[in-house]
A and B are shown apart, each in its own frame.
Chain A
Amino acid sequence: MTALAVVQLVVLLGAIVALAKPLGIYMARVYEGRPSGLDRVLGPVERFLYRIAGINPGDEMGWKRYAVAMLLFNGLGLITIYALQRLQGMLPINPAHLPAVAPDLAFNTATSFATNTNWQSYSGEQTLSYLSQMLGLTVQNFVSAASGMAVLVALIRGIVRRTASTIGNFWVDLVRTTLYILIPLSLVLALALVSQGVVQTLAPYKKVALVQPVVIDQPKLDAAGAPVKDAQGNPVTEKVTVTEQTLAVGPAASQIAIKQLGTNGGGFFNTNSAHPFENSTPLSNFLEVLAIPLISAALCLTFGEMVRDRRQGWAILAAMSTIFVVAAMVAISNEQAGNPLLTKLGVDQHVSATQSGGNMEGKEVRFGPAASALWAATTTGTSNGSVNSMHDSFTPLGGLVPMAMMQLGEVVFGGVGCGLYGMLAFVIVAVFIAGLMVGRTPEYLGKKIGAFEMKMASLVILITPAVVLLGTAVAVATAAGQAGASNPGAHGFSQILYAFTSAGNNNGSAFAGINANTQFYNFMLGLAMFFGRFWAKVPILAIAGSLAAKKLTPVGAGTLATHTPLFVGLLIGTVLLVAALTFFPALALGPIVEHLQMLAAAH
């Protein structure tokens, strides 16, 4: 790992921590209904929304009502995106005249966006109209993120309140998150990105003449548009001179800002933030990668603020940051080391003053291996899933890092809201393990952790691995599943494992060579996203309801302090242990075997 790569990592972490504190305190004010500053401008909009929707903001909900409201709202989103895609051919704002999306792909994309996953089975510029992108995807980028944050805030209220039967009002949490947090941040980021060259226009795709026309071999098509085959059944090609280039543009910056901030990750273009119109310069790259963990990290401090003990928030943030730094360093050093198979071919992969060197397959020159690997660790630890390089072409161990970061359960900063509530489930397990060791009833922040909380926390932690491993098992055991792998050998298995890991954990990134736009994968991965998201959210709300009803237990001599380095270590250990026990065998079959094969072939 080069010194400059270390500087990039340190500056990124420093910026995250520096911005997390003010943002975290601001969000606590928003959720507690205290004056936040922006309410003076947006207060009338907020009250207008409550009035037309018939909402009494003071109307508190129990956890079941809160869950029903959340599911109802997300269900509406699902149906709407599905309908928009199926009907886009007949709807306006479609300058590229893209036709209706096929049912299985539309189902997959709808689930993908309603669950905050943003798995891209579609290719943005070739499948979705501007209207579908704006009214379908951008809307869900906001509200699926807001609904994750709402669930977290409900859980925090459950921890704070004593002998209470309610945990807040879902509609109020949803509206406040969107108006006071997501929209203002997105607006600022979107304009900063346009200043770097990210496109934002409603004009149609643009044609320009190539400086040097090129001759290519193109598959020959018959009158019906089907490929012509020769006597041996091979496709016939013909020489064609290409003289112009079609530049796909569109209202990209506005969607990219929220896809980064809301840990959504679904790109405007097929190659996401590797596309120069989606991520134009090293500076736009830094802003985009900083935006990924920003809100999730800040929510740790919102948590500390709302439980009136900031040290609790810092302790969780410290645990997350520690795992992040180690993962980023492993990924960066492997990608900077390059691919030993290419060294033999007379290729220079050394870092020098005139080149980045390293493993450059699937990476952009302006980012190089360091910024690409740093992004990979960030986007997978946070359930964001946007990419600025193709993870499929990473070195085996460089590619293991993003996979493992998702398998930790998306808690290294994690998705907005769901990262922290996932981590709090691990906290419950950690205090339980500590309690077992000393023979005391476990408690956290004055609330006794009982059998019910443990059961629900275990559900949250175990549902996703079950979805991931079962899905992978079905795929590798069936012809339809095996057909998806585009690379041979161990790497093909990694592609399938990555796909289910990503879908089950609502990440959305991919080993993108996988041929996932098939009925089998659109359906299976759609289910994985659905269960991974909602089966985890409901037990969290159940914990919130149960904790809210409890009395406060006074701190005693046997109370485990949960803000100390010792507890941070215990929490990290719990997270790593659960993931290692669950996923090590699968990882051994994929990236670890491939790494050994690569070393053997290089000698």
Chain B
Amino acid sequence: MISIEDLEKQATQVRRDIVRMVNGASSGHPGGPLGSADFLVALYFKIMKPDPAKFTMDGVGEDLFFLSNGHLSAGWYSVLARYGYFDIHELATFRKLGARLQGHPATAEGLPGIRMSSGSLGQGLSVAIGAAMAKKMNNDEHLVYCLMGDGELQEGQNWEALMFAAGHKVDNLIAVIDFNGVQIDGPNEKVMPMGDLEAKFEAFGWKALPMFGNDMNEVVNTLKKAQWYTGQGQPVIILMTTHMGYGVDFMMDNHEWHGVFPNDEQTKKALEQLNETIGDY
């Protein structure tokens, strides 16, 4: 069984990958994936533990993950590669012509681990609900996870989906909101205040759990708790507080690092703060 310390090492390596990938592509989004790296590592290495060699599009008999906020692609690709879906050296092709690692996740290029294109926001939760309902129809007791951004909740489709999942008792679904409080134009509070999200989710009929997403111990424990709440007639949602840009001091909590790549000097400075724990690609 993988220890918390080993999960943290993976997360640090994933953060190094993110910074190097975005720098290598001279484009991309470093802030979001740095903040959610702990969650993605915990989900794959500790919670879902899928078998990469047995990847199929249908995913029958295994837990499924959907990334709704597709601009977190660098982080997801790194976790998929580190977990064994493809060679880590392919991370160097991120956002380059002919690459399977498209700017936003795509199924068209046949990258193992990806079942749905995302990038245009607000669509992932609906897809995850559909996949969860297919699991029920197939008598497949595995769970479906979906990561969404907080700014993404401003898209109306999410609220259609939130209403539906509770109304139809889609209780094999765990949604996670990356609540870093920041979106491209600035803090959520300035761009579009969303009020008390936990109260809103509860009012919509979901079981809502708070979590600090940059503490590996808390991430693992909350995900286990969320699993426990499944199968009880209610969908489950985790309001995951994170620091955008976590792990790199000058990026942390700064909305300007949402969609800007670090230059070579900034990359060097960032990597000095992130130890090469597993080995670079």
Asked if A pairs with B, the answer is no
Residues of B bordering A, CB below 8 Å: none
